[in-house]
Chains A and B, each alone.
Chain A
Amino acid sequence: MIEINVCIGSACHLKGSYDVIKRLQSMIDEKKLCEEVLVKAAFCLGECMQAVAVKIGEEEKVYSVNMKNVDWFFNEHIQKEVN
């Protein structure tokens, strides 16, 4: 199971993290990956400059995701891992 942690702290929320979560969720549903991938909201990840801050599982790396690159992010970092 891959866990995607999306920051919903104030800064990320204002930069559209709720939309990012919704988009990730719908991609998971479309691709029928509910068993493999889980999107989780997380309060402040401490990376407000990177808003919307996203972490994959326990990885240290922080991805800066927005509505423009969310599809790319998913395909590049999640889809590939699942396949």
Chain B
Amino acid sequence: MRKYVSEVQLIKYQVLREVARLTYEGTLEKEKNNIALLVDPGPDPRIRCCIYKERAITNERVKLAMGGDKNNHSVIEVLPTACDECPIDRFVVSDSCRGCLAHKCIDVCPVKGAIYFIGRGVYINQKKCIECGRCKEACPFNAITDRMRPCKRACPTDALTVDQNRKAKIDYDKCIQCGLCIVGCPFGAIMDRSSIVEVIELLEKSRTEKDSHVYAVIAPSIASQFDHVKIGQVVKGIKLIGFHDVVEAALGADFVAYKETLEFEEVIRNKKVLTSSCCPAFVSLIHVKYPALAEKISSSVSPMIAVSKLIKHLDKKARIVFVGPCVAKKGEIFQKDLIGITDYVLTFEELSAIIDAKKIKIEECEEELFDNASYFGRIFARTGGLSEAIKHVIESEKIDVDFKPISCDGVEECEKALKKARVNRLDENFIEGMVCRGGCIGGAASLYYGPKDKKKVDEYGKLALEKGIKDSLRIFDINEIDLHRKISK
């Protein structure tokens, strides 16, 4: 049995599965309002004030599962009813305050009158507080609590604000679509838009009309996603829902590692620092917060785009659906210079919902073979993988270049490296950036997070028939596939 990381994940899955089921039955429009009755049977609510509010929230989830607001260019939306209007004031004094004699909190406060003594305790004047947090650090009774909204805390670019009704609001100019707020919100009030309806319709059409071959491109992070079934069984399930073939995105990673190594050799003397470009949220982070470093971003397309280009080069009838643990990939395919290359992006969550809606029992499926990439392409799924792959190409091709990578695990480490690079203080000359902790295996739309995820990716990598990148690419003419991005964003 599959385990769910939280009730938020479970509800989201149930909604996706029901939307998928009704799409197959052709009754989605008519019956979409009944989904809430199934997901929230009542009579008692789970956590909200009443069952009706919970059903209203589920209806908002249904809307997003059906594609959401088509006029919104972002893939992430706040569900206004689900947002619990968490407190806005960040630091507050709790009743643990003893009103002590030393009152260090007042001494360390840099703003006069922002924290003051009154009666037998201290109070914070929220109009003056600059949220530096020094009072919290100074208090020996831990009496000052930091109540920053979880969505705001998760957001690396300050894109989360509050509207006049105290609801969370996303500033889409700042949003890098990383999806960390989706994971961060414990009320499940922020969600990514889904393309499951369109993908199911495409798959069903391709069964009868035979004019398109729908390919599933699967991210190598699949290695750690399905705890209860084998990868080969998932691949079988994917084929049973009508995909023409299932191809590893890691093959695209092999292409990218090779191309990026050559690029590194060519540009490093002039640029001094190069950054990776496979994580779309990392690329956007640079554009939004460190625009001066935009010229340092590798011009390579991502592995998803590389393998999509390869498949469309080999098969003119190909339509491509990428499946991964990533929210940002959903946005990547709509970037101006990339439109039409990868047609749709699904998360593993959405994939399972479709397979389950089709009543395919993955645990009973036989195992399909799945092998299109090298060890190095596969380990792109975890922090450090890309750097190891480039190192491998440098060594195997005997390229004479000084490659000093820093592998940034999660957005905090990415920012640390970028800040240093901005002032020319970085010791390394290559920044491998992944916004999610652990790399893609810690992706915002992961099915599962576990302590052995990295090990699982490495073991999966070792199973690959092709050991080196050159082995994996030996039958392809790399020059036939344009791996170079024309616009940076």
Q: Which of A10-18, A28-36, A63-71, A72-80 contacts B (4 or more CB under 8 A)?
A: A10-18
B78-125 CB contacts (< 8 Å) to partner A: none
Complex: A43 Cα to B315 Cα, angstroms: 8
Q: Does B4 contact A (CB under 8 A)?
A: no
B331-375 CB contacts (< 8 Å) to partner A: 368-372
Complex: A9 Cα to B311 Cα, angstroms: 11
Shortest CB–CB separation between residue B244 and chain A, in angstroms?
Answer: 6
Cβ-defined contact, B314 with A9, below 8 A: no
B300-351 CB contacts (< 8 Å) to partner A: 311, 314-315, 318
In chain A, what residue has the closest Cβ to B370? A10
In chain B, what residue has the closest Cβ to A10? B369
Q: Does B476 contact A (CB under 8 A)?
A: yes
Complex: A82 Cα to B476 Cα, angstroms: 25
Shortest CB–CB separation between residue B463 and chain A, in angstroms?
Answer: 11
Complex: A40 Cα to B313 Cα, angstroms: 11
On chain A, the residues within 8 Å of B246 by CB distance are 10
Complex: A11 Cα to B474 Cα, angstroms: 18
Cβ-defined contact, A42 with B372, below 8 A: no
Cβ-defined contact, B372 with A10, below 8 A: yes
Cβ-defined contact, B315 with A8, below 8 A: no
Could you say which of A9, A14, A22, A41 contacts B245, with CB atoms under 8 Å apart? A9
Interface residue tally for chain A (C-beta within 8 Å): 16
Cβ-defined contact, A40 with B314, below 8 A: yes
Q: Does B465 contact A (CB under 8 A)?
A: yes
Shortest CB–CB separation between residue A54 and chain B, in angstroms?
Answer: 13
Complex: A21 Cα to B396 Cα, angstroms: 23
Cβ-defined contact, B215 with A14, below 8 A: no
Total CB contacts across the A-B interface at under 8 A: 42
In chain B, what residue has the closest Cβ to A11? B369
Looking at A13, A40, A43, the one whose CB has the most chain B CB atoms below 10 A away is A43
On chain A, the residues within 8 Å of B314 by CB distance are 40-43
Q: Does A56 contact B (CB under 8 A)?
A: no
Interface residue tally for chain B (C-beta within 8 Å): 21
On whether A14 and B369 interact (CB within 8 A), knowing A9-B245, A42-B315, the answer reads yes
In chain A, what residue has the closest Cβ to B477? A41
Looking at B245, B315, B368, B370, the one whose CB has the most chain A CB atoms below 10 A away is B245
Cβ-defined contact, A43 with B247, below 8 A: yes
Cβ-defined contact, A18 with B474, below 8 A: yes
Q: Does A44 contact B (CB under 8 A)?
A: yes
Mark each residue of chain B from 233 to 249: 1 if its CB lies under 8 Å from any CB of chain A, else 0: 00100000000111100
On chain B, the residues within 8 Å of A11 by CB distance are 369
Cβ-defined contact, B311 with A10, below 8 A: no
Could you say which of A21, A43, A48 contacts B475, with CB atoms under 8 Å apart? A21
Cβ-defined contact, A13 with B465, below 8 A: yes
On chain B, the residues within 8 Å of A43 by CB distance are 215, 244-245, 247, 311, 314-315, 318
On chain A, the residues within 8 Å of B247 by CB distance are 43
On chain B, the residues within 8 Å of A42 by CB distance are 314-315
B279-305 CB contacts (< 8 Å) to partner A: none
On chain A, the residues within 8 Å of B244 by CB distance are 43-44, 46
In chain A, what residue has the closest Cβ to B243? A44
On chain A, the residues within 8 Å of B474 by CB distance are 18, 22
Complex: A2 Cα to B371 Cα, angstroms: 28
On chain B, the residues within 8 Å of A10 by CB distance are 235, 246, 368-372
Shortest CB–CB separation between residue A55 and chain B, in angstroms?
Answer: 13
Looking at A21, A44, A48, the one whose CB has the most chain B CB atoms below 10 A away is A44
On chain A, the residues within 8 Å of B215 by CB distance are 43
Shortest CB–CB separation between residue A18 and chain B, in angstroms?
Answer: 5
In chain A, what residue has the closest Cβ to B369? A10
Shortest CB–CB separation between residue B45 and chain A, in angstroms?
Answer: 47
On chain A, the residues within 8 Å of B370 by CB distance are 10
On chain A, the residues within 8 Å of B466 by CB distance are 18
Looking at B247, B315, B466, B475, the one whose CB has the most chain A CB atoms below 10 A away is B475
* Nearest 7 interchain pairs by C-beta: A44-B245, A10-B369, A21-B475, A43-B245, A10-B371, A11-B369, A18-B475
6 more CB-based (< 8 A) A-B contacts, given A8-B372, A22-B475: A10-B370, A10-B371, A10-B372, A41-B476, A42-B314, A43-B314
Binding site for A on B (CB under 8 A): 215, 235, 244-247, 311, 314-315, 318, 368-372, 465-466, 471, 474-476
Between-chain CB contacts (< 8 Å), 18 pairs: A8-B372, A8-B475, A10-B368, A11-B369, A13-B371, A13-B372, A13-B465, A14-B369, A18-B475, A40-B314, A41-B314, A41-B476, A42-B314, A43-B247, A43-B314, A43-B315, A43-B318, A46-B244
